[in-house]
A and B are shown apart, each in its own frame.
Chain A
Amino acid sequence: MSVSLRELWSVFHGLIFGSIFLLAFAGGLAGLYSLKPEWVTVAGLAERIRRLMAGTWVMALVAWATVISGTYFIYPWYRAQPPEGADLANFPQSLLLSNLETAGWHTFAMEWKQHVAWFAPILATTVAYVVAYYGPQLAKEQKMRRTLLWLFVVAFAAAGVAGLFGAFLNKVAPVR
């Protein structure tokens, strides 16, 4: 039983960082949605805000770890050009493009994933900053809370597209 360095990075990128982000989203969304003055006590509000701040900053940091590890560690292995006569199984992008039936996994799935994934850390950091900036006042700021919910959902959708296609690509042409 062995795992190569490349496979280990893929596990950290998708299974650990990516999964933490996607899983934490539900908690963050519920925390933001339910942050209404009429739904929480004064003591409860302070505790909620502390939890929400910690959760959103963890999400933002994990999102950065996911895109940086994906772009600067795994992607170069994915797109490396094979030498003449090499086994394409070790060169995922070339393997996918070598067959019309699989080319779409690169031209659509990978192309979309690699760009849209970067929306997640930028928008998650924005949400984390605004939550930290307002603190308990956020409960009164209904419009801003709605805006943050929207940004949060877009960040999740971007990470979801990246995660979903990442999982498929890892099946069709894994980085080994």
Chain B
Amino acid sequence: MRIKDKPNGPAAAAVLAGAIGVFVIGVMTALAAASDAVGNMLRWVGPVGPLSGKTGLGVIAWLVAWTVLGSSYNGKNVNTEGIVRWSRVLIILGLLLTFPPVFALLGNVFK
């Protein structure tokens, strides 16, 4: 069986977009902890509270990033090493920003 090579652009776009999505969830979590005004703006669905806006924005950022990056990288080969490195950084930052002691600390510092 002969495997036809596909360019890595679409795959790299998907990875980076996923990382952007989870990073935005982290940033929104920290911002909501730091500012009551932001927290209130993120109450998209009343019974769910700010969680609806934090995760909703993360999902929107993910889909928008995927669409934009996917169309720019479509049919191209890109430097996956740099993209993977940045993706890891964004995911680790996202994880840190959703860790309660971290976002509570940021909330106390900036409130």
Contact = CB atoms under 8 A, between A and B. Distances in A.
Interface in B3-45: 3-6, 8, 10-11, 14-15, 17-18, 21-22, 25-26, 29, 45
Chain A contact surface mostly: helix
A76 to B, nearest CB: 4
17 contacts: A46-B1, A72-B45, A75-B51, A76-B48, A80-B47, A112-B98, A115-B55, A119-B25, A119-B95, A122-B22, A122-B62, A126-B15, A130-B14, A137-B6, A143-B81, A143-B84, A144-B80
A115 B11 contact: no
Interface string B83-99: 01001100100110011
Interface residues of B, number: 41
Given A108-B100, A123-B22, A143 B14 contact: no
Which A-B residue pairs are the 5 nearest by beta carbons?
Answer: A76-B47, A126-B18, A115-B98, A111-B100, A42-B1
Given A130-B14, A154-B91, A115 B8 contact: no
Interface of B: 1, 3-6, 8, 10-11, 14-15, 17-18, 21-22, 25-26, 29, 45, 47-49, 51-52, 54-55, 58-59, 62, 80-81, 84, 87-88, 91, 94-95, 98-101, 104
Given A112-B99, A136-B1, A122 B59 contact: yes
A118 interface: yes
Interface in A111-169: 111-112, 114-116, 118-119, 122-123, 125-126, 129-130, 133-134, 136-137, 139-141, 143-144, 147, 150-151, 154, 158
